[in-house]
Amino acid sequence: MANSSSPYAAPQLTSAHQAEILENPLRTYLLGIIISICGNVLISISLNIQKYAHVRQAQRGSKPYYTSLMWWCGVVLMGVGELGNFAAYGFAPASLIAPLGCVSVIASAVISVVFLKETVRASDIVGGTLAITGTYLLVTFAPHTSTHITAHLVQYYAISWHFLLYLFIEVIIFCILLYLYKMRKVKHIVIVMLLVALLASLTVISVKAVSGMITESIKGQLQLIYPIFYVMVVVMVASCAFQIKFLNQAMKMFDATEVVPINFVFFTASAILAGIVFYQEFEGLALLNIFMFLFGCLLSFLGVFLIARNRPKIKQQDRNFIAMDRIPGRRHTDKVQPEAKNPTYGSLAAKLMCNRAGQTDDS
């Protein structure tokens, strides 16, 4: 017992620790789910508010977007939603909170249709149905254990052999991908998204550790005096910063309809794997529960892919293109000639008219 009282010694898994790990308070578990769902809904609302603010400022063409009060309201809502997701990791397993991110995609699609008047596609309906079904399976068959995350427990998990092996493999893969991306200039979306996912696994581990230790401190068991807490804070901030960096680069190089579903799939897979390896969340879980949980993840992946696939874009007209009814000297009341119905003939006629106009000006 003397070793367990030291903040630097790795605690042994005594019966007291096992009782903490295997405790199953349903109220805490449901609270984490509700907080996560509400946080994801707030994030989707904030994204649509910011999108509407961008569109409105672009139509007015006067002030930049960051001077809009509506845009700042969206930023505040996003901060509250992300804070809710952060808090949810302290109440429910990481392998469950991460897949619930599909709620944000579903809510964003619904809000964009209702408020931004975007068209409803058949793929949106099918994708939403699959994602909702997958979410139900996730909540039903996910591990229902709610571990009390203490500094001693985090330190014990951090030096376990399976996590050290997992971290070693992850570092090697990350270095190889970074070499291909930076040195070999391989700009493939899978490479960039894998870099984001590998960083995301560390983010999930550190976020759950920090959130859990803060939750225990609020309950009365102070955990902020242990060095492992601040180590996890540094890992959380650093991994989030580089994750955002690579994600922004991906958004610049590739279309959002590609980045969003791939990022969701890779992030969820890495978060589930991190929860299994570090927090041992699937320990003692029945084989049927594992199968149904993974099946729910697959349905959520398919749903997000269908919703995000080929989203309608705001088309910008080419400035060099002049419509037939806008040609100088042509009246809007004139009837379109039958020959103009042929697109090839129409384009040739427009070129001839432009050439004649140029010749007239020269003369």
Closest listed residue to residue 193, CA positions, set 132, 158, 243: 243
Residue 144 region, left (φ>0) first, then alpha (ψ -120 to 50), else beta?
Answer: alpha
> Which pLDDT score, from 0 to 100, does residue 55 have?
78
Distance CA 213, CA 224 (A): 7
Query: Is residue 49 predicted with pLDDT exceeding 90?
Result: no
Per-residue pLDDT at 335? 45
Report pTM. Answer: 0.75
Q: For residue 97, which of 305, 257, 297 has the smallest C-alpha distance? A: 297
**Is residue 219 predicted with pLDDT exceeding 90?**
no
Banded pLDDT at 232 (limits 50, 70, 90): very high
For residue 50, name the pLDDT band (cuts at 50, 70, 90): confident
Q: Taking the mean position of all CA atoms in its chain, how far away is CA 96?
A: 15
Instruction: Tell me if residue 329 falls in helix, strand or coil.
Output: coil
Average pLDDT value for the chain: 81
Instruction: Evaluate if residue 1 carries a pLDDT over 80.
Output: no
Average pLDDT over residues 336-357: 43
- 196-207 pLDDT tens trace: 999 999 999 999
Q: Label residue 69 exposed, middle or buried (CB < 10 Å: 0-12, 13-18, 19+).
A: exposed
pLDDT number for residue 28: 82
Which residue type sits at 233?
A: V
Q: State residue 56's pLDDT score.
A: 80
pLDDT at 341 over 80: no
Q: For residue 223, what are the contacts with CB-CB under 8 A and spacing of at least 6?
A: 150, 151, 213, 214, 216, 217, 229
Residue 153: CB partners within 8 Å, gap ≥ 6? 11, 17, 20, 21, 147
Whether residue 26 has pLDDT greater than 90: no
In tens, the pLDDT along 163-182 reads 999 999 999 999 999 999 99
Token representation of residue 84: 């809710």
DSSP alpha helix (H) spans, 183-224:
189-219
- List pLDDT tens digits, range 52-107: 887 787 777 767 777 788 888 988 998 999 999 999 998 889 999 999 999 988 89
DSSP assignments along 98-156, one per residue: TGGGHHHHHHHHHHHHHTS-PPP-HHHHHHHHHHHHHHHHHHHHS--------HHHHHH
- C-alpha dihedral sign at 233, 235, 236, 240: positive
Give the number of other CB atoms < 10 A from CB of residue 261: 21
**Local structure of 159: helix, strand or coil:** coil
Per-residue model confidence (pLDDT) at position 154: 95
Residue-wise pLDDT for 298-340, tens only, equals: 999 999 999 987 665 544 444 444 444 444 554 444 444 444 4
- The reported pLDDT for the residue numbered 136 is 93
What confidence score (pLDDT) does residue 62 get? 65
Q: Which of 117-121, 323-327, 359-363 has maximum average pLDDT? A: 117-121
Compute the average pLDDT of residues 200-215: 95
In the chain, domain spans? 25-146+287-311, 148-279
N-term to C-term CA, the chain? 103
pLDDT digits (tens, 9 = 90+) for 245-269: 998 899 889 987 789 899 999 999 9
- Give the pLDDT confidence score for residue 355 in this predicted structure: 47
Q: What is the spatial distance between Cα 201 and Cα 268, in angstroms, rounded to a whole number?
A: 9
